[in-house]
Every structure is written in structure tokens, then in C-alpha cells.
Chain A
Amino acid sequence: MKFAKLALVASAVLVLGLAATDASAQMRKVKIATEGAYAPWNFVNSQGKLEGFELELGAELCKRAKFDCEFVAQDWDGIIPSLQAKKYDAIMAGMNITPRRLETINFTTAYAAGAHGFMVLKSSPLAKMPGGEYNLTKDLAAAEKAINELKPMLKGKILGVQGSTTNLAWAEKYFKDVAEIREYKTTEQHDLDLAAGRLDATVGAHSAAKATMETATGKDMMIAGPGFSGGMLGLGVAVGLRKEDADLKTAFDDAVKSAIDDGTIKKLSEKWFKVDMTPKS
């Protein structure tokens, strides 16, 4: 009896010890930063925990790459400088690949891609802006023609955009001369101002706009005008990494590709965005 007990304890210790060394020795620790204010990509839920498409996808990618991952929240406007300062190792925050960002950091292959455009109040005259889909990479001329047709309607209007985004760069390039552009720290803040009537429209990703429209704040809002993608609006959303961490890039690239190939990204995207946001190669 006594011996049996001792044997049990000994084997338990052995098993636990093995499991512990197994986990710590082989799994590389990777810290991933996200904004936590960009539903449904990433947001803080009612329990105060990070949740969203990227949290679920991130866990899946880490499982495939055999990383021991931890998500941390970081304000959007400091998210690249803090990566450079090694506060974490990767960014998954609805961040688009752009040539400007590529000068500073590296990106994996894109894990999602979607259109960008305007969100307005249903009662606004801007609700009648003509629709359409334009790609700035494939047919810049057609996209710019559509933009020029929007300009008279947006004359003297106030547009809200999140700072440090491709949306802001795009809005400033094409609409600065006709409209007033206000910068916000988060998309939640410009949504509140659109609801309050301080803004005539917001400029952002359709995916985030749709998520807002499902909340109480956004119940009187709608997406108006054409959807734009590619070019300066970004070459898809990807994991941001430091340039020197080539090994992380290889591991995440493989994980993203396998998640695209086996339909995991399509499944998660339909769960969170209600549409398939898998990048089309």
C-alpha cells in the first residue's frame, strides 16, 4: 500500500517533469501585439479579454508554427515603434502591407484582404454616392475616375479617419482639397462622432464598418459609395515582423499558407466577417 502510493507519486512527478520540459524546451515564446479596438479583427470583449478574428487566427498560426504565443494590447499609433523597440515580436492588428511600412518592418504573406470605403448615416445625402468595386493596383485610372466623381459630393464635408492608417493616407491624397479630414486615435471614436453628427462620413475598412453597423452606435449607419482596395490602401492584411527576424517570417509564412490552403482562414473569416476575406493570389 505504502509502496504503491510512493510509486504513484514518483510516476506523477516524472510525467509532470517530462511534460514541463517538453513544453518549454521546444516551444519558442512569441509575443504578438494587437490593438484591441478594431472589431471584428481584434477587440476587448465584455470580460475585458482580447477577442476577434486575429486572436483566433493567431492561436491557429502559432499552433502550426509550434510557437508558445501570447497576445498583448498596444495603442495603434505606437504599434510599429514598439515592435522596433522589441516590446513584442509580431503584430496582428488588421495591418495592411504597404511600401511605406515595408521600409521599416517586414510582413508575412497576407492572411486577409478586403475593400475600403465610406460609412455614412442613412439620413445623409452622401448615402446616394454611387457604388462599385475598384482596385488601385490593377486599374488605377478607373479608380481615380470614380474618386473624381465623388469629389463634388464630398465638397465641404467632414471626414473622420483613424490616424496612421492607409485609409488616412488615401483620404488625404484624394480628398484633402475638397473635404476637411479629422484624425482619430481609434475607429470607435470616429464611429461615435459619426453617430453624433460631427462627421459626414468615416473612411475605413468595410469589414470594420460592417461590425459597427451591427452595434447600437451604428444602427443608423450604412456603407456608401464604391469599395476600393490595393495600391496605397495596402496589399492585404499580414503579420508584421522585425526585418531581422527572418526565421519568424519563414515560420509564419508557412503557417499562413497552410491555413489558406486548408480553408481555415475562409472558415474563420466567414465566422467573424460574414464574408470570405481570404486573399486572392
Chain B
Amino acid sequence: MGITRRNFMKATGLGAAAIALGDIGCSSASAQEYSKQLKIKGAKEIITSCPYCSVICQYIAHVKDGKVVSTEGDPGYPVSEGALCAKGAAMLSQINDDKRVLKPLYRAPFSDKWEEKSWDWMVKQTARRIKDTRDRYFKEKNAAGQVVNRVDEFFHAGSSQMSNEELAVHRQALAAMGVVNIDHQARVCHSSTVPALAQCFGRGAMTNHYIDIKNTDCALIIGSNAAEHHPMTFKWVLKAKEERGAKIIHVDPKFSRTSARSDFHVPLRSGTDIAFMGGMIKYILDNNKYFYDYVLNYTNASFIVSSKYSFNNGLFSGYDPKTKLYDKSSWQFETDENGLIKTDKTLKNPRCVFQLLKKHYSRYDFARVSSVTGVTKENLRKVYDAFAATGKPDKAGTIMYALGWTQHTVGVQYIRTGGIVQLLLGNIGIAGGGVNAMRGEPNVQGSTDHAMLYYILPGYLQMPRASDATLAEWNKKNTPVCKDFQSANWWQNKPKYMASLLKGWFGEAATKENDFGYTWLPKLDNASAWDKGDNSFLFAWEEIFKGNIKGASIFGSNPAQSIPNANKTRKAMGNLDWIYYADIYHNETTDFWHGPGMNPKEVKTECFLFPAAHRAEKEGSVANSGRWILWHNVATKPRGESQPMGQIIIDIMNELIRLYKKEGGTFKDPIVNLDFYGKYNAEEIAKKVNGYYISGPNKGKQISGFTELADDGSTACLNWIYAGSFTEEGNMMKRRDLTQTPLEKNLGLYPKFSWAWPANRRILYNRASCDMNGKPYDPTRIVIQWDGSKWVGDTPDGGKPPMSTGKGTYPFIMQTEGLGRLFGPGLVDGPFPEHYEPAETPLTRHLFSDQLSNPCLKVLVSDHDKIAAPGDPRFPIVLTTYSMTEHWCSGSETRNHPALLEAEPQLYVEMSHELAEEKGIKNGDGVIVESARGRVEAAAMVTVRITPFMIQGKKVHLIGMPFAFGWTKKGCGDTTNRLTINAGDPNTTIYEAKACCVNIRKADKLTELDINGVTSENEMTGGNHV
């Protein structure tokens, strides 16, 4: 018998290879040749960070002769363990891409081309434009006569692509200029997370961290396509599934790569998650699935709400239809004669939070929820049952969400439902639990912390409003007071953080006598109505459209592509007199003036494009979604004439300072008194972000934590939550020590790797994982425990002894009352989440109330901001939009990477077979998708992964489209955001990018997706296609 090819291996066996080798021609000599070519041999290894997504994978750049020759994942980063997704794997192409912007470029008014200019010329011209605009339009007082010291005619966008030190410098410069129209990617991606989670627990950040997902017993992935958008999470999701037997549930309109690896997928109509989660709250309460001790001791369940509070037919008490705002006084808690909140520890009082919660969600029964969401009752029960099972002390359930939850006109309240469920189940503060906001951009946590947002200052301090004329007034309004000695009420320290920030910004010029320069800060108008005092993208872009904003700076972002109603956005840009940009690629924003439908000869806007250095070409820190601050190193020097964005703003600001010193000008104090920088030096700025002593015995020394900050001007600190990141011991963010105690190893905690805010705490609210005696509820997953004299484990969230000693504090130290909020009196649109339809809906009524949409909805309606009426027969189909693994957000970077573009080359629309049949569309057909605002070409992707929904007895179709394709890459299509709507959540004005109404038809002719004439870099050859 001959040796068959199947048993060949067996026959040769170990060490017996010789018998057949000569015969079949094995050879090691030639193969050996290959190994000699190993391109990374002898290369220097530099660790730096991927610039896509908030996992912020670390990678190794192999550098030879100053050039990066290869990149691969860094096995020393415990979150990724050396892995990279498609985007991270394409780093080499990005760094070395010649399509990058490598020279300073200028586009003159009405010109049809970019011209190369010198760096110096660009800086001088830009600073001159800023000064001229500022001097001309500076507003000392608003219409009400209040001092506001601001420039309404300047707009800034960006960027979560910057490192923390660049952001700190940039925010300081903008404040000095008097700019109040400040916004960036965080508005569009996770702005709703901040007030929602802060309202629930005290801080607006992911409660746990990526590795911690492995500790869960049940992962409810809802409003997220984690496997595609945060690919590294699935390392930990699958670990939980395989090692703990965790249930993985995916609730999302379409079946995606996440669903493929989940235990089950439940489709729901986009825009109905409050109904879905409200049903779960009812299920938990009706079936006594809640964690009683936790609810009683660690939430506000027992608080008595004012007798004036009511909820009636979709409206809470206090609504004013004129301002579209609530008077929230009736949502407050009753207090006794000592100012303490009245409670009922039996939870029986009909006005206690627990009973009001029960009453509110009593309407969210299976029939109603199923009818509105389109989820079958069977599927509802399946999810509720599986997740509610984690309400036991020794079980943990996590909620993982992202933009599927945030981008709605009820986005904040979506997230609140997650918070309420997790508080009821006792899933906050524990390992494997939490409400895990998976942030988007690769430093959007940092850019939010550093407040590239109009309404806050670094460290989540409130931006001054017109009514806060002095620092004392600001302090009084924004510093909460609590009479309960058991509440740490941490924000009582706010004046220290504000004074230290101002000292950091204005240095010696900031004195007690001048309120540390507080009066130099610009002030926003008060938010007296739904459209007042809101300088977010939605309103700022309207001002640009109207021609009221004259100049703009746009750093590392692509709003012409990524903001809803893109036709308006793009048109608006031509009304600006000047824009200066910093970016690594040309994109639809930098080059808007020669985009589709634009005639450069009619566009007046002067454009200055500064070439920005890649993250691998600069050092600095970035914050991952789990609040780890990671330091990235310089792999190679900036290519061409590019510079770090931090240097770009420093150069411009220094020129501006020079001009004001030389020439004088309007309200020059904040500019000439700025404590600023020469050469951009990330470590020096990081030290200032951490904070140091200005006077006293420790003068000149770094502070070691925020408890050392003072309100008397003796400390400077650019961001109090980063205090501890760069101490006298050095740069803590650079740490790469993976050693662990057994407790840490059990949970996957790495306290010596990098540094996490606040105070290197890895799991927020961690004292809630223990009972009142400091004993962990779950002995197998100990986060911290009281050993009789101190807390052991993770950095305790509040270091006081356990509550039972009588000397303890409640576990939610950032809340004024110290407890998790089931009833949240602080949000704009209600203390409990309530289902409302999206701003555009296929329905004319829903089953929960007569209030169709959010009563406080922010929506612009005009000829250029059209909105379809509810149930408009012209637009019967629900559109949801999303990202994908292979492209990053607007795609302006990733479309330049050959391996990524070939994997996802053109705009597609995913739709069900049922819809395709109704419309006569076949897979791969060119189609036109239309909304009230615009039309888009796409390729049809007909799939079993999307199915029609039965909504209130009627079939409703849903389609889904990515938004990563834009016209600057010919033939790939153009932005889907020409369809989406300028409607925002009333709390944060995040856009409703996840739901609007459209129609679809087969295209007769395609222009946007025409690839004829596009030069192929390589032709497809060979092979037998199957």
C-alpha cells in the first residue's frame, strides 16, 4: 500500500522525516533564504498608539534609519495583548503615505487650487485674521447688558485626535481669545454619555474598563456593534463566554459581526430603546429581580419626592411649551427641618422614588413594548430573563453601549435606562458590571476631560454663564452643598479646582484681587430657552450658514462629512471669510470649496491648511475609554513640514500674543497675560496638567493628587482629574509594569500599567461592590475589601471606613447625596426616561402617551433644515447609520489606506430581502436613497441580516448605511449625512444620526459610485473565482 496524502504525516512520524524528503523534494535551503530577509531585523522598536477607536491599542513601530519599516501590535499592552484589528494593522501604510498633507497650503479667495506657503507666512497670516476678527467683533456685553467678553464670530472644531497635552494648550488659547463656539467629535459621538452617567453615578465616564468585560456573567450589548467598532472588546467578551459561561446578548436593528459571535441577537426598531429598557425595568420590579440591599442602601430609592411632582400623558410636571423647558422645582426631594432629604426605608411611601419608578414603568408591559419596538414578546422575555438574573449579589452583568444609544434626541435618557437597570441589579462598582460607554475617537475621553466643548472647562467645571459675573458667584452657583455628613459631596471642592485652573492659565497675572483672571474668561448666555445659550455644532453651524460667524479653526476633524444635513453644512462653509485647518489628510472639510456642487470661483473663503504630524511622530498622552492615560512615543520625526497640532496652536497663539503686545487691541488682558509656551514639549505640559505648587514649602514641586489643590492661588493645575498622572515620582502615564497581586490578577487589573483617572482608580464606585461592613458581595470577584483598618484592592472610591462604622461615606462620592440616582432630577427632559419617537418617525402616534417626540427636542426647521412630518408617506423607511471596522468615522484617513479601501471600497445600503423585492432591487444594484434633506447613491446589499419590523400592527422597513465614504476618494460615494437630520437631544444637542426617515429606489444612473477612470493600483488576476 502506498502512503496516501492523508496518512503521510502519520507515516513519517516524529524524527522520521527522512524517508520521503528527498522523494518529494523538501528543501530547507531555499526557505532559509526567506528568513534572511526579515525586514525588522536590527530595527529599533518604538511603542506608540493606534489613532483609531477608544481602545487605543499600542503598537510597535520598527524603525530603521529613521523610517518606519513595519508595525505590529504591542504584546505588552494588556488590553490588546499584541493584537490589532484591520485599521490598526494598516498603520505602516498610514505613516508612510505620500498622500498625506506634508506642506503648509493656502487657498486664496475664489481660487481653484492650493498653493504651497512657508510655515512662517501661514502663522503670521492666521494670527492676523484672528486678531482682525476679534478686534472688530469682540462683544463686551450681551443683549441683556451682562458682561460676556466673548467673540461670537469665531468657531472652533476639534479634536479628539489630539493628545491631552495638545488639548490642554489649545483649550487655554481658545479661552484667552474669547472663543465660545467650541465643539468637536465628542458632541457627535458621546456627548450624551457625560450628563447621563453623571446623573446616574456622578461621573460621565465608562464605569469599568475593557479587560473587566471578561469578569461578566452576562453582557448586554445594546446600541453598540462592539465587535466591529471596538474590535478588541471581543477578546474579553469571548473570554467571559468561554471561561465563565457568560451569556452574550446583542440587541440592535441589524444582525452584525457582533451578533454573529453572540449567543443571540434581538432586532429592534432604531429609536425605541427606552421602551425596550423600560420594559426591563418593569420586569425586574414585577418579578423581584432587584438586589434589595443595594437598592436600599446605595440608591436614592427611599427618597421622598416633592408632592408637586407628577407625570401625565408623556409630560412631567413643570413643562413650559414656550421655552420647551421644564421648571424642575417640582422634581426635587423633600427635606426635613435640618435640610436632610426625607426617606422611607420601607420603600412603601407612594412618593418615594422606588414607588414612583414602579408607577412610571407600569405602562411598559410586554404588549406595548413589543408593539412599539418590533421585538417579539418571546425575545423580550429572553433578554429580560437573562439579564435580570444578574441581580444576585454573586452575579455580574455589564451593559456595553456606544453610538447606537448616544445619537438620539432621547440619547441621554437611553443611557439613563441602562443606569437605572444596573442600579436595580446592583451591577455598579463591581467587576464584570457597569454601564460601559465605549467612547469613539482615540482620545475623545481626553478631549472631553480637557473640555474642547463650549459648555465646560477642563475637569468638568461649568463654563461661566452671563449671570456668573464674579468667581464668587460662579463658585456659589456651581458648588453643591449637602447637609448629610455621610455624603462626601466631592464637588464641594470645586472652587479649588477652578482657582488652580485659572492659575495654570494666567500664571502670575492671576491674583486673588483679580479673581485669578476669572473675569477674562468669556461667558455664555444663560440657557433660558431650548435654543438659548447653546453653542454646540447644531446652533453654531446655523450661525455659519447665516453668515454670522466669520472665521473658523478646524483641527483633526471632518465636519463636512460627519455632521447631519451635510448639504447645509457644506454650503455654510462658503460663508466663512477664513478657516485655518490642521490635519494629516485632505478631506471633505479642508477641500469643501471644490466639492460637489461648489464652484471655487464663487467661494470667498480663505483656507490655511497646516500639515499635522501623525501620532507616531509626536509624544504625548491619550485616554482610552477605560480612563487609562497612555503615553505614546516618537517613532519617527514628523514627515515633510508637518508639526504636532500642539506646536501649530502654540505658534499661532504666540504670534497673536506678539501682535497684541506690539499693537494693542480689544480686551488684550487675557491674551497678553497668558502663561504660555514656546516649543511644544509634551512632558512639560503634562506636568502642568497634573499640577504643582506655586508657593509654600513645596514650591515648584508636583502635587501628588487633587486633594492637595487649593483655592488660594498656591497651586496650578490644568485639569484636576489628571492630578496624580505626573508626580514627583515621574510620568505615571509611561508606566508599563504588568505585575499584579493575586486579587488584581483575578480581575485583570493592572494598577502599575499607565495611570487611570481619577487617582488611578480602575473600577469606579468600587465601594458599592461591598456591603455596609466593607465585605465584598461576591467573594470570587473582589474589587476591594475592608481589612479592618484599610481598604485593600483597587483605589477605593472614597477612602473612609465602611458605612457600618458610622464614619463612612456613601459610595457615589461625586453625587451631592452620595447615592446612585434612580430618580434623576438634574436632566433637562425628565427625572425618569420616557419613550418618545425620533424627530422623524414613520408613526403618527405611539402607545405610551400622546407626546410623540421629546417635548424639549432641539430641532431646526427651515428651507435648509427640512423635516418630514410624522408618518410622511414619501419617506416610510427608517434609516440608521453606522461605522464599520475597516474605516474610521468619516473615513478621511482610512480611505487612503489601500488594504482598508479594498476591503470596504464603496458606500452600501443594507436592506432586507423583503424590501428589495418590494422595490425591485437586486443585490449589488445602484440605488438612490432620499430623505427630506438630500439624496445619496449607494450599492444595494440585500441581506438576511435585516428584517422588517411589525410596529403597531404595520410593517416598517429599516435600512442601514455607513457614513465613511466621501467624494475626495473618487468613485467610493459621498456622505450619508446628506440624509440625516439636524435634531438634537435637549441635554447635549447630540444629533439624531441613528434614526431618520427615507425612501429608496433603484438608480437609473450613477455618478458618485462611478469607478470608470479610477486608476487601479493593481488588477485582479488569476484564480478560479468560486
Q: Do A and B bind each other?
A: no
